[in-house]
Each structure stands twice: as structure tokens, then as C-alpha cells.
Structure 1
Amino acid sequence: MNKRVLISGLMLLALSGLALTSCKKTQPVQAQPSSPSVQTRGYLTDYGEKGMQALSARLHNSRRKLTHIVVIGDSHTAADFLSGQLRRQFQHRYGNGGIGFISPLAVPGNRYSNVKFSRTKGWQAVNSRRQSNPRFTLGGNIATPLSWDSETRVTALEGESSINAQALYRSLGGATLQLQGRAIPLADSQGRWELSEAARVPLSFSVSVSGENETELAGLWLTAAQPKGVIVSALGINGAQISMLDKWQDDWPGTLSMLNPDLVILAYGTNEAFNTDLSLSEYRQTLVRQIKKIRKAEPGAAIMLIGPGSSIMHKGAASCEKRQPALLKPIIEVQKQVARSEQTLFWDWFAWMGGDCSIERLAQQGMARPDLIHLTAEGYQASAAALWRDLEYKLEQ
């Protein structure tokens, strides 16, 4: 009797096992996420940037829609040579959408290829290059009027007969913005950065602020009268590293989102390479953090990293290895790794120049400056033309 019960129990266990096995087999097998395909054209590598399709579609509809490209970087961007040439290429192909986002006043050491400032009086200006201010936002500039007759004149060097102008401002209690004599009310923003109403102004116009309340400007947003074509905004600070963005504490990604960028270019790395105290692991973390901030603020925008070009740190050293910053190529490698992990674009400026110590050859050709860090206008223009060719091919696919 006991033996019969034991056999029956074993048969039940076997049947249960078969049933469980059968259930497991009927469960659908979950597909593993495939790695994005990596595509390279010239010196541009696409590590799976999902925003490229939308960018391409918007550009091809540029007769009716505005495309905004933002370049954030160091002194190479602050001079607006590379970004300026890139702007000319885009606007020649897709139309001129306007000046873009600029500082509220002239910044010493900076230039714009498409705008100039003059007749500035009665303002206090601070910049995040050497100063700290918890109210810094995108661009790292704050201009505060000191008197009722504070004024600056902005002149667009290209464009149609008139443009639309808005100010990025913050105000406690409200104030009045004067754009070429036209009064624009600045509502109480409760300390937050906001864009003012737009006003149609001539290519050369005055800017002033009146009111007894605390009011500051962080930038001007200048677009063509008709919202179409391309804008390339250049936000560069001399000596900046990617960590500079951590000084823009007042929600700079939120401000970026107000400007609706379709492509954000981060052009850093030269000053990191000269920073002998830099931790590569901390640098990687910072770069990833800033990219994630942009993704969160503007999930549809494409992101590109432009690596640092060739540079010389120790001119008197005998070998190229000693003359070149020791961290230069490790910085580039970290950027490539981050571009892959965050699925962005990466343009290898160092490789385009020719690799190790190639800036010395470019200097002999008149395309680099004697400091062996910066290029001449011709060098930046040639760089931008190469970047444009690689990017144009990708956009036309």
C-alpha cells in the first residue's frame, strides 16, 4: 500500500514538472534592446542621435519654420569665427532666421560676427567667467541698469530692414523695457527669468530699462520678422570648461527650452586639456550630467560634441609628446565614450587638423595663431566648412 502511494506521488511530481516546463515555454521571449548603429562620415560620428531625423525634417521645411542651433563653448565660440562660419553655411542653404540669442551688453574679449554694441552707459554687467552669482542662467551674463538713463545700442550687421526683439529678464515688481523708444511692459516675474513681449525694431536699436524695482537682463533674443530659416546662437566664454555650466545656477536648461533649440552643440575640451588638476572621471560625470540636463529640458533636440583641436602647452619641449597637453587625447577619448553612452554626435576637430601637434603646421600655413591654441579667422573658417560638409551629408540622408 505504501509503495503504491509512493509511486503515485512520484508520478504527480513528474506531471507537475512537465506542466511547469510547458508554462515556461509558452512565455514570450523578451527581445534585447539593440545597440544604436554607429555611422561615420568624414570626421563626424553619429552614435545614434535620435534627434537628427527631426532636425533634418525641420531644416527641409525652413521656408515655413524656424530652426535654432545653439553653440555653447569656450574661447573658440566666444570669438564667433567657427560658429559664425557655420551660421553662414546654414543660412545660405536654409535661409536667414535672424541674429539669435546674444548677451545683453558687450562682453570684453567676446565678439559676434553678426551684431555689435555701442553707446553703452549706465549699466553694471557681470559675467560668469570670473564672478559668481546664483542668478546666472543660460549664457552666464547679467546686466543691471544703474540709472533712469541707462542705454545701449545694438546693431545687427545683416538681415532685413527690421527684426523682432525680446529681452530675457527677471523683475521683482515689474518695470518697462524701452526698445528704440517703444515701451514694453515687464511683468513681475517673481525673480524668475522670462522672455518679454516681442517688438519690431530696426536693425540698429536702443535698449533701456526704467522702473524703481529690481530688474536685470540676461540676454536678447533677436529673430527675423518672419519665423523661418536658421538661427545659430553663439554662447562662448573665454577660458571656460564644461564645468562652467554649473555656475549657471538659475535653471539654465529651462531658459534654453524657452528658445526652442533643434540642435545643441557643446564645444569644450581645450581648457580641460590644460587643467593639470583635472580628474578624468569627474570630467566624464560632469559632461554626462550636462547632456542629461539638455535631454530633460529639450528631449527632441539633437546634441553634438565638438572635441578640442590640436594645441601646444610646452613650446620649448623637444618632442611632440612633451609639447602637447598630456590630457588632450584622454579628454577626446572621454568625449567619444560619452557621445557613445549618451547617443550624441561627435565631431573630431583634432583629427581634422591632422592629429598630434598639427597646429604647429597650421601656424606655418597662417591658419593658427602664434599661441598655438587658437586658429586664425581662415583656420576657423576652414574648420567650420569641414564640419558643415560632414553635417550636411548626414542631414541629406
Structure 2
Amino acid sequence: MRSHKIILFFVFCAMQVRAQTEISNGQKTYDFINYAANNLHMPDDAKMPSFYTKLAHLVAIGDKQINIVHIGDSHIQADFFSNRMRSLFQNYFIGGNGGRGFVFPYTIARTNNPSNYKVKYTGSWQACRNIEINKTCTLGLAGMIVTTSDSEASFKLSSATFDNIIYDYTRIRIFYNSEEDSHNIELENIGTVQVEEVNESPSVKEWILSGATNEVDIRIKRLVPGNTIFTLYGIALETEDPGIIYHAVGVNGAQVTSFLRCELFEEQLQKLDPDLIIISLGTNDAYGNPFDENVFKANYLTLLNRIKKANPGAPILLTTPGDCYKSKVPNKNNLKARETIYELANEQQCNVWDFFTVMGGLGSMQTWKNNGLAAADRVHHTKAGYELQGNLMFDALIKGFENYIGARGQR
């Protein structure tokens, strides 16, 4: 009991420092944002306290890592929204940076790559995405793969510093498949760091580095004649330090059914050992015509069941799709998707962050556009809009955390 109170005391002190910092920074507020609604909907047995307990321990004691996995569509692939969340969590307390997390080299797939890491590559690569229903390929957590049959190919990832966070790493995991085990995977920056190679499983290769680096330079060599295929599913860039790792995976145009096509989704999600799973899907589902909320609900339930089976102890946070326009008018299907997500959350003990209501409700996307927060298509946001979305969701999560700490402290 005494150690419990000590932890709560240190957490309370950390929250006071954060509150003072926020006041001094003076975040801009908008009269069209529904700040009163900016809370988490947490049904009984939604498991969110398990995440908050781990966060309290990390803030107070400063050991162990917390893994958050954020899954979504184009709003996540660009990583403006999710990167804002990552930055806020990792700056929430001193020593909060646990690493960059799971990344995919979107540049190799010839699509937009997050700006906080750069990708260079050699060789001929082909891409397959979970939105391409006419293609046959085995997909994983990222919802996208790149493959090569070249005798030799390579790729290099370089991390940038964002919001005063330096993303270097001492642990590298590559998720892959080598047809007939016919490829050798080499970490080329051995000259600057000593490495210990660990084969976690036939589909994951891991290196533990003795020194930190902000670059990964990997070369793939085919060991046998022929056209055997090497498949890359993604890379996890982590450290051994305590802190928060915020993994984000998104595919432009993805619907819930898109991730149901990912055969290795559960296996690879499980390897990230998530403490919280956030799902931001529904915009593209609701954009279809006609939109059948019963089909949407059934597909979403299937995805939730797959996630729960792989990670039974992890709380799940569902975000409602924000308002958007279709054919020059607000898309009322997003309101139906919102209602369906609430139904699922109550039935499946999931948490909800209601972005649709918080941003202002039906038709609010035009107001966001008028304030430089939404793109011309009134479906996507500007960088400033995504950062505002990140600020809002983080505040809702931390409000829930502070309420949890307050309730525990009164016991």
C-alpha cells in the first residue's frame, strides 16, 4: 500500500509539471471544437485501466516500455496525426522515448512516406497493398508489402529529429519472408556498431546493437540461382530504454475489409506486444455507395475478434471517422459509422474517442477548411489539422489517465 501511494505521488507531481508546461505553451483553441465532448467513452470491462496502470508505473518509476499500435488508413499512412500522438506521449515525461517503432518503407512502394524518416533503395521492387483486391499476395500488419527477385537489393532508412526527439535505436527487427530460405540479410552498418544477431523466428530477424544509430542499411543477397522472391513486411526500430513506443500502420484508401485480407496480421501484431491498440478506420467504408452499416459492423467485429485472439489482454480504442464531404455535401454515412462504432464498443468492451463529435459534427469539415485545418478535398486534413487532431485525442487520453489516478488516490 505504501509503494502504491508513493507511485501516485510521483505521478501527481509529473502531471503538475505537464499542466504548467501546457499553460505556458498556450495551445490555440477554436470556438467550433466541442471540447466538452473530448473524453474517452469507456464501457465497463474495457480494460483501459490496465494501460493507465502501466503508464503510471512508467511515469513514476521510469522503467519498462509501453507499446501503442495505431492502425488506420491515409490519415495514418502520412503519420501527421500519429506522429503528433507519438511526440506528445514521448514528451509527456522525461525519458519517455522508447523508440520510433514499426515502420514501412513506403517510398519503395512508390507511395507517400512519413517525413520523419527517409528511405533510399536499390534493385527492382514490386508492391502489393491490401486495397488491391485483384492481386494475390500474403500481407501482414502493415497492409502492404514490397518484393524483389533481384540477385541483390538493398534499402536504407534514416530517422530525423522531430519535436526535439532524437530517433536513434539499438534494436532492429525486420519482418520478412524468403522463398525457400534463399536469401541472406545483412546489416551493412557493422563498421560503426558492433551487433549481436538474433533470429527471433523464421520470419523475423533481429539485431541488438552495442551503440545507438539513426540509420539502418540492409542488403539482401540471393544465395541460389533462379527467381526466388524476397518479401519485406516492415521494420521495427526500437531501443532497450524505458519509454513509450508508438507504432503506426496505415494504407491509403484502406477499409476494415482491407485489413481482413492480411493473413499475417495477428502474428505480426502479437510480436509488437501492444499495451494499447488504436483503430482509426471507417472513413473509406462510409464513403462507398451504398453504405450498409450492418455489413460494416460485421466486418469490424471480425477484425476485433482477430485482434483480441492475438492480444487478449490489450485494451482497444476505436476512433470515430471525422466529418468529411462527398459530392460537395457532408457525408451523412460518417454519422452512421459513428453510431455503429459506439454499438460495437459497448458490445465488445472497447473504448471510443468520438472525433466526429469533437471536431464539430456534421458539416464541420468546411469550418476546418476555412481555418486552414482541412485540405481542399474536405476529406483529409492539413498538417496543422492532423496535429490538432493529435492534440485533442492525447488530451482525451490523458484526462482519462488523470481521472484514473485521482480515483486511485482516494482509495
Say yes or no: TM over 0.5.
Answer: yes
CA distance in 2, matches of 1:134, 1:155: 28
Cα distance change, pair 148–335 in 1 and its aligned pair in 2 (3 A): same
Residue 200 of structure 2 contacts residue 206 of structure 2 at CA under 8 Å; is this kept in 1? no
Residue 105 of structure 1 contacts residue 152 of structure 1 at CA under 8 Å; is this kept in 2? no
Residue 183 of structure 2 contacts residue 221 of structure 2 at CA under 8 Å; is this kept in 1? yes
CA distance in 2, matches of 1:305, 1:364: 28
Query: 1:273 — aligned with what?
Result: 286
SS at match of 1:93: coil
What is the one-letter code of the residue matched to 1:129? I
Match of 2:255 among 238, 241, 247: 241
| Residue 173 (1) aligns with residue 181 (2) | yes
Match of 1:304 among 317, 321, 342: 317
CA distance in 1, matches of 2:171, 2:69: 18
What is the one-letter code of the residue matched to 2:389? S
Cα distance change, pair 160–69 in 1 and its aligned pair in 2 (3 A): closer
Residue 175 of structure 1 contacts residue 187 of structure 1 at CA under 8 Å; is this kept in 2? no
Query: 2:21 — aligned with what?
Result: none
CA distance in 2, matches of 1:195, 1:154: 18
TM-score of the aligned structures, taking structure 1 as reference length: 0.81
SS at match of 1:338: helix
SS at match of 1:125: strand
What is the one-letter code of the residue matched to 1:115? Y
CA distance in 1, matches of 2:232, 2:111: 20
| Residue 363 (1) aligns with residue 369 (2) | yes
SS at match of 2:206: coil
Match of 1:216 among 215, 224, 231: 231
Cα distance change, pair 184–163 in 1 and its aligned pair in 2 (3 A): closer
Query: 1:291 — aligned with what?
Result: 304
Residue 145 of structure 1 contacts residue 209 of structure 1 at CA under 8 Å; is this kept in 2? no
What is the one-letter code of the residue matched to 2:49? Q
Residue 307 of structure 1 contacts residue 350 of structure 1 at CA under 8 Å; is this kept in 2? yes
Offset from partner CA, 1:115-136 (integer Å, 9 cap, x none): 2212443433322232533411
SS at match of 1:370: coil
| Residue 59 (1) aligns with residue 60 (2) | no
| Bigger radius of gyration | 1
Offset from partner CA, 1:90-125 (integer Å, 9 cap, x none): 110141111111114524343324322124434333
Deviates more, 1:197-206 or 1:257-266: 197-206
Match of 2:38 among 34, 37, 42: 42
What is the one-letter code of the residue matched to 1:86? M
Match of 1:156 among 159, 164, 167: 159
Residue 175 of structure 1 contacts residue 186 of structure 1 at CA under 8 Å; is this kept in 2? no
Query: 1:330 — aligned with what?
Result: 336
| Residue 147 (1) aligns with residue 177 (2) | no
Cα distance change, pair 90–113 in 1 and its aligned pair in 2 (3 A): farther
Cα distance change, pair 50–279 in 1 and its aligned pair in 2 (3 A): closer
SS at match of 1:197: strand
What is the one-letter code of the residue matched to 1:238? N
CA distance in 2, matches of 1:232, 1:392: 15
Match of 2:120 among 114, 118, 123: 118
Cα distance change, pair 351–120 in 1 and its aligned pair in 2 (3 A): farther
CA distance in 1, matches of 2:118, 2:208: 19
Query: 2:28 — aligned with what?
Result: none
The Cα of 1:337 is off from its aligned counterpart by 0.5
Cα distance change, pair 297–122 in 1 and its aligned pair in 2 (3 A): same
The Cα of 1:233 is off from its aligned counterpart by 1.3
The Cα of 1:160 is off from its aligned counterpart by 5.6
Structure 1 alignment gaps of length 5 or more: 1-39, 316-322
Residue 125 of structure 1 contacts residue 141 of structure 1 at CA under 8 Å; is this kept in 2? yes
Offset from partner CA, 1:63-84 (integer Å, 9 cap, x none): 2111111111111111111111
CA distance in 2, matches of 1:127, 1:386: 30
Residue 135 of structure 1 contacts residue 248 of structure 1 at CA under 8 Å; is this kept in 2? yes
SS at match of 1:266: strand
SS at match of 1:196: strand
TM-score of the aligned structures, taking structure 2 as reference length: 0.78
SS at match of 1:301: coil
Offset from partner CA, 1:301-347 (integer Å, 9 cap, x none): 110111111111121xxxxxxx1223121111001100111111111
Identity of aligned residues (%): 27
What is the one-letter code of the residue matched to 1:117? V
| Residue 70 (1) aligns with residue 72 (2) | no
Offset from partner CA, 1:219-259 (integer Å, 9 cap, x none): 101102x242111111111111111112112x311210011
Query: 2:19 — aligned with what?
Result: none
CA distance in 2, matches of 1:156, 1:169: 21
CA distance in 1, matches of 2:168, 2:330: 48
| Residue 89 (1) aligns with residue 84 (2) | no
Offset from partner CA, 1:185-218 (integer Å, 9 cap, x none): 79797xxx62212242621231221233543221
Query: 1:205 — aligned with what?
Result: 216
Cα distance change, pair 261–285 in 1 and its aligned pair in 2 (3 A): same
